[in-house]
Each structure stands twice: as structure tokens, then as C-alpha cells.
Structure 1
Amino acid sequence: MNFDFDEKQRKEILNTVSQKIEHFYTNTKDYSTTPELNLQEIRNIIASENLVSGTEPNKAIEHIITGLENYSVHTPHPKYFGLFNPRANFAGIIADFITASYNPQLAAWSHAPFAVEVEAHLINQFIEKFGLNPKKSDGVFTTGGAEANLTAVLSALNNKHPDFAKNGMFGLDKKPVIFCSQEAHHSVQKAAKIAGLGYEFVKTIPTTKDLKIDTDLLEKEIKNLNNSTHSPLMVIGTAGTTGTGTVDDLEAISKICKKNGIWFHVDAAYGGGAVLSSNLKHILKGISASDSITFDAHKWMSVPMGTSVFLTSHQEILNKTFRITTEYMPKEANELEIVEPFSHSIQWSRRFIGLKVYSSLLFYGWNGYEKVINHQAKMGEYLRTKLTENNWIIKNSTELPVICFTHQKFESDANFTKTILDNILAKGNSWISVYPIKNVPTFRACITNYNTTETEIDELIEELNKERKAYQD
């Protein structure tokens, strides 16, 4: 079996793939945003292919492309107003192709020195962007925000308990408690489960009327903690909540944490992108005082999935948390002043994650990103304006392009949002979601695509108005 194929076959295969992808990339708006969720049909299509002896490459490519085109929510669509899943920029797509082709192994520095140093350089760039002290800070690329948040929990445990790496939870005399907003991402609970704390020890704090964590209640909860049996481990502030795009009062949280000697982590998976815009970075005031930060480049930086960053203002904590020695790992770089990636994060075998960011910066620059982020924020303001003009009411307050809205007459009618959402998704022209705010179901629309313009927003407004009228009639 020739896994490589010959040169002629490779060129034919690449040409086929290139043509298919080019057609989708150019004509994304022509596709339905929403697939038909026919489980049995999908399973039958997958099971019908010959996985024993294989099939002809072009037929295999056609099968894969058809499956993805017919049975995916098309997040690259300019009328996908959904979760933080943007259209991937072309530089990032090319980077994934290059990475897969060269397949560098970033576990050991000596195996991929260029790739490891690219990621180290980018980490330093992000440290600077977020205002951390470059001489005292560190960071690492992760596969997603969930891994970055888990890294934060583990770092906080190892920071507070010097013997945690050796003894784990069995060495603790008190139960660690994590504090976060009730609007925080559920990866916090997941991290607590994986780390062995258990989600019972994640204390969620109610929000104020503006949907930020109530810092007065936070202080009271910390003060009222039974210090004979429990110990405050960390507070997680969110910069851009998933539901409403709210940014917690990071400055107030940092002061509370400093006063009480508690690790302060900022989950800026989405909202961290604001740091790249001179118009928006003020909303992250206080983030530079944090102990650690989660940031997802695969959100506002529009690179392919699985590209996140963990940053920390504690230069040695990653080594303390993950350091390990082995006999079988390469030792060619032992005499150099380098960090071995396998001893620096949760991952061992490591993909060249950072190339998607590096290639994008080489193609577009930080200046290009500022323009794109400002454009999306501008489209968010345009959507708010058009909704208000058409008698919809906005239920959240954020400078990020996340808009939650409903109609005053139907605020208490859960069937209103459900019916309209079902109708819009069934037509497949746009993709929005429903999110409850203070027990009121609202429509949620987020500008995630750099190609979304006033045209797509006007079309969404037209759809919403039409469905509202039909519901009223």
C-alpha cells in the first residue's frame, strides 16, 4: 500500500480538494446555515462507505465534502449570528495544511525548535498585549479554552499548596473553593471535576442587574467561608460571557483577590480580543493585575478551531505544575536555555497550534486584526440600532457585538422565542439562538464573522419582523 501516492495522483487529489474548498469558501452564503438533523440518514451515509478495502480518492473526497456541506451548521456563513465560531481566515487554513504536512512534534524543543520558538515569541507578544510584566510572566498554547481554564485551576492549586504536585488532594487539610459568576462558562465546573475538586466546590455568585458578578456578594461569600474546613482557592472573572457578552468588573475583583491572597483568573476566551483594539481595550481594565488569563484565538482572531492561549503572571508556575523528567525524551537541548514543552503544559505530544496565529499575523498584522475587530464591533452597534428602530428591545449591555433582544409584548411568552427561532432555523437563511436573561427568554445574535455587513443584518431584521408579524397574526 502506497500511502504517499505518486506525484501525479497527489496533484490530482489536491486539485480536487482545492476546487471543492474554493467553491465553498467563495459561495458560503449560498448554503443553508442549518442542516437537517436526520440521525439515521447521517449514520446510513457514513456506514455505506467501504472502510475495509477503501475507495477511490476522488470518491472519498466527494463523500466527505458532501457530508460536511449537507450536515453541518455553517459557522463560516455571514448570517451565522451564533456562538463564538467565526469564519476561519485563509492564512489560518493554509497554516493547518502546512502543519499537517510537516507534522512537527512540539513535545521536545530539539525536535521542532523553529515551531517551539514561534509559539514562545507569540506568547511574549500576548503577554505584552494584555499588559503583563514580560520579565515575570509565562504562557503556553492550548487546544481550547477548557484546557486553559483547567490549567488555571491546576496552577492555582500548585501555587497555594507547595506539595500539591506530589500529594494531590490527599495532602490538603482544607477543601479548596472556586468562586465565579453564575454566568461563567461551564468549563469551570468541568475543570473542577477533572482536577479532583468536584463541582460542588465551585461557588457561583449571582449577578447584578447589568449581569456582572456581584462583587459585594463575592466579598461576603469569601468572608463567610468556614475557614476551619474550606479555603478560597481562586476567583474567576469573565471577560465576555458566552450568553450576553458581559465583562465583569475585573478591577474590583483584582482588589478583592489581592486583599484576601486569592488567585485571580480571567476567562477572556472571547472578550480578550478587545485588547487588540484601541477602541475596545478599555473594557478589560484590571486584566493586567490577574494571575492568569484564558484567551481563545479561534474566536475573535478568526483562525481554525483549537487555538487558545494560557497566560500567567507567575513565571515558574507552569514548570512547577507540569515539570517531569524522563529517560526517553530527547536530550540534545539539555545545555541550552530552553523550556521543554512536554514539561510545561497538560499536553505531551503537541501540534504546532501557534502557526495559525503566526501565519495570520504574517499575512495581516496586528493592524489588520484591529480593523477587523473594530468592524465587527461596528456591525454590533448597527444591529442594536436596527433592532431598536424596529421595536425590538435590547436586554443586555455590552460593547462587544453580542446582542440579546426580545419584544416587550412577548417578554413573558416563552413560546414566542421558541416559535420564531424554530421557523428561522428551519428556513436556513440565518442562525441565531435563544438565551434566558433573568428568566426572560431572549434572542441572541453575535457578530462572529468578518464578512458580515449591513446587508446581512438588514436581511436578519427582515426575517425577524416577518416572523413576529406572523406570530401576532
Structure 2
Amino acid sequence: MNGNGHTFLSKVLKIVEEQQSEVTPLIQFKHPEELEAILDLDVTKAVSDAELERCVRQVLQYSVNTSKAIFRNQLYGGTDPYGLSGAWIAEAFNTSQYTFEVAPAFTLIELKMLQHILKLFGILEGDGIFTPGGSISLLYAVVAARFKAYPGVKSQGMRNLPEMLLFTSEDSHYSIKKAAHWLGFGTESVRIIKTNNQGQMSVKELCSAIQRERDLGRIPLMVNATAGTTVFGAIDDLEAIAEICQKFGVWMHVDACWGGSLMLSSNQRSKLKGIERADSISWNPHKMTGAPLQCSVFMVRMRGLLHECNSASAQYLFQQDKFYDVRYDTGDKSVQCGRKIDAFKLWMMWKARGDAGLSKLTDHTMNIASFCQNAISEKPGFRLVTGVMQCPNVCFWYIPTFMRERQEDEQWWELMHKITPKIKELLTLSSQLMVAYTPVRHYKNFFRLAFTFHPVIQESQVLDMLLAIEECGEKVTLQML
């Protein structure tokens, strides 16, 4: 190792630039056993910078190049270059965000970003915090709802509390079940509400379910509405759900981790009408918006509630006799102690692009998704799962030629269930496209193309993706299944 490693830092940017060049493939897939045999992962003995560089390049060679347009596998993609710059600076300064004295500028940045985001979502007097992800934000929401209803839970626990229930749609994120488990409710306390064909929670069934549980003497604590479900990108009827929550006195949380980015555009934000009435909201700028992982925001309507329910008043960290205004020591609102300065990454992006720049990227992303949906509706062999698009999610099947004249009975759909993963395999192994597939309820395996701000995708690239799916689809035979 040369010196203490600082000389190696000068090489890192060059390595990353080379690995993200146009000629670099999306993926060179190897099965786990093969990859383990190829990579030199032993750390027992120190190596020279030259050897370390070789090892790093090898690791990146077999990693997924998420910056490419053809990485459509998850609800995130390439990073915003300004956000990436912010992430590098944040890592270099190695700052933990809990007190003003160790993170003065970064503390003000987080507070400024929270103020701006709360205003964007229509919560003018609220509060918030940056969290490690949407699943943790949901934990914050349940903790806040429980504390608001039963403040004594913080000191006395749940042993003397009535049975509390959480309500969510069948298409919502699985993290609500984990939250129920972690926080002592139990997964059986989660009530699953049916959705319509577009993936939106049934408001009528939600109302009936809450009334039914109240009649049985149970306590409906929280409704978890979704603004942008993982697969269909469905947005629940937030206005109607807000009315129900107000009627029954139930905490309303909106999981807007994916769809919350639509609030950045004046043309799109009407899709989230009613979100301003929520008691809490979660949004992940590291998804659609392209902030570097992780960058997540949790918002709460009631100012002071986060500190009340989460503070532990550690004397060595949050002393009240400091020489500055201790109201700026925001770390006691958090369940974490050490916390990364994630707000800085988002601030870098927003500072560089402004409201107008982010709005333009939002509209472009939605326009590209609409173009993709329209192209699929016109191409032979492609079939949309649903014609309604609320977020930039496009869900569809590709039906190979040999399947098109067959009767579409149960056996036909079972074959389609196997064909979709096989097409995905061929696409991945040929490094043409990484695309997600899934079954949902009665729907057999289908593809989900989800579009994000970065890299900025053009219509020609969308057509290339569909062509790749068609070409690989036509290679599938019955013998492969």
C-alpha cells in the first residue's frame, strides 16, 4: 500500500469513468460459484496499489452497471451527477449528523431541505427527518401513530394497551408486515384491503374493515395508503382515504416512496391530491429522482412529535447547557445515533437544477413512460396488463409467435408464466436489458418497465428495449420451459 491510501483516491474517478463508458456492458453475469472462483476477495495480506486497482477493476467488471439506460430492473437507476458529487463530498467529510457542533452547515442544509419538501407536499408547519430508506420511514410512521394515540407506550410498553390494527392494500410494500413484527404488533395485526384492477385500495372495503374492527372492540391505529405501488405504480384515492381516517380518528400515512417524485411537477402533482392531509409521508428521492442511495425523507404533520416519541436525551451528546442554540441538535428526533448527511446529496441536485429543472425531468420521465405504453399497445405480441398509468410503470407480457394462435386457457397462462422468466434470463445473459418481472394476484408473470430521471432516456432507446424483448422472446421454445 502506497502511503496511507490517499494516492489511490486520485485513481478512483478514472476507474469509475472507464467502467461506466458506453462500451462497458450492462452485466457479465456469472453464477455465484463461478464468480467466487474468479474474484480475488481474500483480505489476509496487504497488496500494492497496482494490485488493488486490478482487484477493484475486476469487481466492477462483474458488477451491474446501473448507470445504463437498459438497467430497468428496480425502482432506481443511474444517479444524478450532481447528487453523486454530493455523495463523494459527504463520504470524504465523514460527518455524522446528530449535533450542530459537528455538522453545522449540514444541519442547516437538512433543515432547509425538509422545510422546502414539506412545503412542496402541502405541510406548512410539519417536521421531518432523513432516514435510511422507506422501510425505516414506515417504522417511524407506526411509532409516531402509536405514541400519538398512547403516549405512555414509550415508558410502559404495550403490555396494557388494547389490540391495535394497521390497514394497508394488498399491493402495498411488504415492509408494513416487518414493521408490525418489529414493533410488537405481530403480522396478524395487519389488515389487508383488496385493490381494484389498477392496483388502488378499495375505499369502500377499507371503511367497512375499520368499522368492523371497531365494533369488535379493536383499535384501528393507522392506514397505510400508497402513492405509487411497487409493481403497477398505482396511487390510492388519497382524498377519500383522508376522509375515512378523519371520520374514524385513524392516523393516515402515505407511502410515497416511489410516486412522491411526481410532486416535483406542477403537471403531475394533482395525481397525489389529498396527500397534504396525511399525518405522515415517506418519500425516497433515491428512487425515481436519482439521488444516490440512500436518500429518504420521512415527514410528519405534528411539529415536535418526532422529538417527543424518539428522544432519549443522552447527556454526553445532547447537553442542554451548550454555548449555542441546542434546538439545532436534531439527532434526538432519530432512532439512530450516527446518521449520514443524506440531505446534502439532495441539496446538491436541487441547488444545481432548481424546482424548474427537477420538474422538467419529472415530465420527461412520465412522457417516456407514456411513449413506451403506447408503443407496446401497437406492437404485435405485446400486451398491456393494465391500460392505466399513474406513475412511470409499464406492465406487459410478450407473447411469442408460437403462442399467439393457441387457446388462452389455464394451461396457456401457465406456459406464459414460465416464458416471461425465460425471456428475462436470455436478456440478462446477453447483456441486452435487465427488466423486472412478477406475478400479481391472478396475473401470471409479466414484465415491469419502470422509468427514472437518470439516465435521461430517449424514445429510440425505449424501442431498442422492446426490440430486445421481442428478439429474446422469439428464441424461446417449449423445450426450454
Please give the range of the TM-score, normalised by the shorter of the 2 chains: over 0.9
CA distance in 1, matches of 2:225, 2:154: 25
For structure 1, list consecutive stretches of 5 or more residues without a partner in the other structure: none
Report deviation, 1:337: 5.5
Which residue among 227, 235, 255 is the counterpart of 1:247? 235
**What is the match of residue 309 of structure 1?**
297
Check 1:18–1:203 CA distance in 2 against 1; reply closer, same or farther (3 A cut): same
Structure 2: gaps spanning 5 or more residues: none
Residue 63 of structure 1: aligned partner: 55
Matched residue, 2:383: 393
Deviates more, 1:231-240 or 1:30-39: 30-39
1:417 aligned onto 2:417: no
- State the 1:210 CA deviation: 2.2
> Deviations 1:410-463 (Å, cap 9, x if unpaired)?
672312322222222221111112122442222111112332211221111212
Percent of counterpart pairs with the same letter? 25
Q: Please, which moves more after superposition, 220-229 or 198-207?
A: 220-229
Map of 2:257 onto structure 1: 269
Q: Closer, same or farther in 2 for the Cα pair 1:32/1:227, shift >3 Å?
A: farther
Matched, 1:444 2:448: yes
Shift in Å, 1:275: 0.2
1:108 aligns with 2:87: no
CA contact (8 A) 1:244 1:403 kept: yes
* Shift in alpha-carbon separation, 1:348–1:227, aligned structure 2, 3 A: farther
The secondary structure found in structure 2 opposite 1:221 is helix
SS at match of 1:371: helix
Deviation of residue 341 (structure 1)? Answer: 2.6
CA contact (8 A) 1:123 1:139 kept: yes
The answer to whether residue 369 in structure 2 is matched with residue 377 in structure 1 is no
After the TM superposition, which of the residue ranges 97-106 and 413-422 deviates more from structure 2? Answer: 413-422
Superposed counterparts of 1:319-334, under 5 Å: 319-329=307-317, 331=319, 333=322
Matched-pair contact (CA < 8 Å) for 1:290–1:313: yes
* SS of 2:107 mapped into structure 1: helix
Once the two structures are TM-superposed, the CA of residue 45 in structure 1 deviates from its matched residue by: 4.5
Q: Distance in 1 between matches of 2:94 and 2:434?
A: 35
Residue of structure 1 equivalent to 2:463: 458
Q: List per-residue Cα deviations over 1:86-125 (Å, max 9, x = no partner).
A: 2011112121221122112212222212111110110000
Is 1:435 paired with 2:438? yes
Structure 1 partner of 2:154: 165
Residue 3 of structure 1 and its aligned partner are, at CA, apart by 7.0
Whether 1:208 aligns to 2:196 is: yes
**1:15 paired residue number:** 10
> Aligned equivalents of 1:110 and 1:419: distance in 2?
55
- Contact 1:16–1:58 under 8 Å retained in 2: no
Within the candidate set 177, 180, 200, 2:165 is matched to 177
- Contact conserved, 1:251 with 1:286, CA < 8 A, in 2? yes
**1:199 alignment counterpart:** 187
Q: Of residues 130, 140, 143 in structure 2, which corresponds to 1:154?
A: 143
CA distance in 1, matches of 2:208, 2:129: 34
Question: Secondary structure of 2:219's partner?
Answer: strand
Matched, 1:282 2:270: yes
1:308-356 CA distances to partner (integer Å, 9 max, x unpaired)? Answer: 0000111121012111212211536475161423310111111111110
- Note closer, same or farther for the CA distance 1:55–1:375 as it changes in structure 2 (3 Å cut): same
Q: Which SS does the other structure have where 2:234 is aligned?
A: coil
- CA drift of 1:471 comes to 4.1
Q: Normalising by the residue count of structure 2, what TM-score does the alignment of the two structures yield?
A: 0.91
Deviation of the 1:52 alpha carbon: 2.9
Determine helix, strand or coil for the equivalent of 2:101: helix
The reply to whether residue 230 of structure 1 matches residue 218 of structure 2 is yes
Matched residue type, 2:148? N
Q: Name the aligned partner's letter for residue 80 of structure 2.
A: N
Q: Per-residue CA shift, 1:229-268, capped at 9, x if unaligned?
A: 5210100110000011111111111100000000000000
Within the candidate set 223, 246, 253, 1:258 is matched to 246
1:39 to 27, 32, 37: 32
SS in 2 for 1:266: strand
**In 2, Cα distance between the equivalents of 1:353 and 1:3?**
30
Whether contact under 8 Å (1:270, 1:299) holds in the other structure is yes
Distance 1:45 1:472, change over 3 A: closer
Q: Distance in 1 between matches of 2:330 and 2:8?
A: 35
Task: Please say if residues 163 and 171 of structure 1, whose CA atoms lie closer than 8 Å, have aligned partners that are also in contact.
Answer: no
Pairwise CA RMSD:
2.1
Cα distance, 1:76 vs. partner? Answer: 1.6
The size of the alignment, in residue pairs, is 461
Q: Deviations over 1:16-54 (max 9, x none)?
A: 211111123332xx33334424212333445x4552331
8 Å Cα contact 1:375-1:450 kept in structure 2: no
Change (3 A) 1:434 1:163: same
Alignment counterpart, residue 45 of structure 2, candidates 37, 53, 56:
53
Kept after mapping to 1: 8 A contact 2:165/2:218: yes
Preserved contact between residue 240 and residue 246 of structure 1 (Cα < 8 Å)? yes
